[in-house]
Structure 1
């Protein structure tokens, strides 16, 4: 509601009256409250080092820095707990997110790590650097 084009329009928040079904008191206790739910939000930077069971990743703009998309996606424990809200559509109607990677950050790193060959790792590096995550 705060970030939409209708953020200045008034909205109706109905109030409901709650009362316990059974009471040992000679009076009826009624409570009037709004139907709203507490929620929490944090930036991608604040989520670093956290492990969360449920995440809604709101991407109204492009991910702007090296590793931000990876950091945001890797905070959640399972894919069932991950929801991505991407407001940007491509020309064909699909939704993709560019994974921003600065190749200069990898300068000086060894070309071969573990049991993979140099050719396999180079192909894998190229795939990772060019990959766009397709959203469903």
Structure 2
């Protein structure tokens, strides 16, 4: 039997949740970047019927840099989550009792990253 299996499994579940969130943020960035290209191609294909087809696209710098920022944010989330998984696993293997580190920098960094993605997404929807 694995000693302290419940805590080890919780650590892995938390890691997988952050990885899943990071993949979703990467996918959102990819969609924002590529969907703008799709709208440009669709508008170009409409030709003279462009007046009938009212397409609103993101400005190219918003789509390019915004999508790239979301992709980089997702990758950063996964890297930070991996670091946090390894640190917590090391502490779980240690026989010594450790106090919880709720103010650890990785928690703040991941929270700030998720907040930034939420604000950026809201900005894209509103404007």
* TM-score > 0.5 by shorter chain: no
**TM-score, normalised with respect to structure 1:** 0.25
Greater fraction helix: 2
Greater relative contact order, per chain length (Cα 8 Å cut-off, separation 6+): 2
